[in-house]
Chains A and B, each alone.
Chain A
Amino acid sequence: MPILTEIAPVTLNNDEILRYSRHLIMPEVGMEGQLKIKAAKVLCIGAGGLGSPLALYLGAAGVGTLGIVDFDVVDYTNLQRQIIHSTADVGRPKLDSAAEKIKAMNPFVNIKKFNTHLSSDNALELFKEFDIICDGTDNFPTRYLVNDACVLTGKPNVYGSIFRFEGQASIFATKDGPCYRCLYPEPPPPGLVPSCAEGGVLGILPGLVGVIQATEAIKLILGSGDPLIGRLLLIDALGMKFRELKLRKNPDCPACGKNPTITKLIDYQEFCGIRGEEVEAEVTTSEMQVEDLKQRLDRGDDLYILDVREPHEYQICNIGGHLIPLGDLPNRVNELDTSKEIVAHCRSGVRSAKAVNFLRQTGFKKVHNLAGGILAWADRVDPKIPKY
């Protein structure tokens, strides 16, 4: 299966020959393979947890053209796993930080920076310039966008995904293999599956999964080995177990099936149900600002502060609320007094909004959601509270 769109007449200079010598002396790579790697154009979507090891290893291996799409800036909470960035990079665009590290390691890589939000408007044009797309994103709309754009442009999608200490990896959208929609025709409704920001992730795990993606990308370039096409690799870092499931191409797949209905890119926010909900929730959620809460507590108002985070989060910091994790709320709702005014909070305000909606449906009238959660409290009321 030829992956490379064009093999330019590339050669290696003496510095490159020395640099790649451990590849060159391997029969599986050799000069021919190394020239393929140099001719290859790989696009990494995201310079985060998965993108860090991916871009670093692909750069080190000598991928000739390495594109990176990211519009984010480095944050302190990234450094636990996003090893391409350093403490001094906090506040800088991830794209600049990543490009600098790759360039420092291998000046022979041509890095193409795309400081943009991958969207239905730019994905097809962007993907056309590359041979392989590596998906290191963190949200469902972009996952489906990357998949559909790969199917439409005929580019393989080297896929990796992580949650807490569990990962998945595969290669989607090759000519005869399944695509992401064959595996998951629809995304989960927002909120049912927590994001890494809510659920956490073991810092080493993206390293493990990102390196698997890099390995698969190099194998596709070389055209050797047994790529993860039609197989879903499940990685359980806690049990250190790797399992493999069979993936089949779905003949009725809306993207890559016999009669595809997805012939152009769509609105992926809407497809993932993110937009329609804003209207629905606006009418039901009553918000309280952290300054108002502080003022009312200082005034001695009888407010019941309900903290819906998990016990391990309460240990990091708390504002003296009564702890009932969101998941336990339905079973422990009788601990609450309907006559009292309740202010629910969590870390950032997402889970507590769900709690407020739930309590309202259960018949509680005086419930507020603390806007921005304990993070806003730390920013605007009590700077001694640590943020996490």
Chain B
Amino acid sequence: MPRIHIPTPLRQYAGKQPAVDVSGATIGEALSGLVSQHPDLRRHLYNDDGKLRAFVNVYLNDEDVRYLQKDATSVKDGDNISIVPSIAGGAASSHYLLASSNPNRTRLLAARS
């Protein structure tokens, strides 16, 4: 079975696991196996049109699947699939803290799952 590595920010939606083993012969099948095991992950990985979000990259071993056959890229036992979302942390300045603590700047993202 291929193994999907879950990055820290998304582990809370995957039963806090760092990696999940899934079945599937392609990247697309493996990812849909993952979101059927952990439905809360869906909105973090896919947009409303069912497309992988632009700030989430998927790697098969060390290669970006955008430069392979994307969803159709075939996977085999022992392959490592990594989900690599963008993270911005670095300084955690109080400016950003203030900016993000302004509730007017937030919107509903925790939509009904």
A350 on interface, CB distance cutoff 8 Å: yes
B54, A162: Cβ atoms closer than 8 Å: no
Binds B, one of A34-42, A198-206, A256-264: A198-206
Residues of A within 8 A of B93 (CB): 46, 48, 70, 72, 138
Using CB atoms, name the residue of chain B closest to A348.
B101
With known contacts A46-B93, A358-B110, A184–B105 Cβ distance under 8 A: no
B77 on interface, CB distance cutoff 8 Å: no
Using CB atoms, name the residue of chain A closest to B12.
A327
Residues of B within 8 A of A386 (CB): none
> Which residues of chain A in 174-223 are interfacial with respect to chain B, using CB atoms and an 8 Å cutoff?
183-199, 201, 206
A75 on interface, CB distance cutoff 8 Å: yes
The 4 closest A-B pairs by CB, nearest first: A48-B91, A353-B103, A348-B101, A196-B92
With known contacts A138-B92, A143-B88, A197-B100, A327–B105 Cβ distance under 8 A: no
B90, A135: Cβ atoms closer than 8 Å: yes
B88, A137: Cβ atoms closer than 8 Å: yes
A248, B13: Cβ atoms closer than 8 Å: no
A residues with a Cβ closer than 8 A to B are: 46-51, 70-73, 75, 77-78, 82, 117, 135-140, 143, 160-166, 168, 183-199, 201, 206, 232, 234, 239, 243-248, 274, 277-278, 280-282, 284-285, 287, 326-327, 329-331, 348-350, 352-355, 357-358, 361-362, 369, 371-373
Residues of A within 8 A of B18 (CB): 239
Quote the shortest CB–CB distance from A365 to chain B (angstroms): 16
Residues of A within 8 A of B62 (CB): 243-246
B96, A139: Cβ atoms closer than 8 Å: yes
Residue from the list A72, A168, A245, A357 in contact with B94, Cβ < 8 A: A72
Residue from the list B9, B55, B91, B102 in contact with A194, Cβ < 8 A: B9
Using CB atoms, name the residue of chain A closest to B95.
A72
B107, A361: Cβ atoms closer than 8 Å: no
B107, A193: Cβ atoms closer than 8 Å: no
A162, B55: Cβ atoms closer than 8 Å: no
Interface residues on B, range: 35 or more
Quote the shortest CB–CB distance from B42 to chain A (angstroms): 13
Complex interface bits, B58-84 against A, C-beta within 8 A gives 1, otherwise 0: 010011100100000000000000101
CA distance A164 to B40 in the complex (A): 20
A184, B112: Cβ atoms closer than 8 Å: no
CA distance A163 to B101 in the complex (A): 18
Residue from the list A143, A164, A358 in contact with B108, Cβ < 8 A: A358
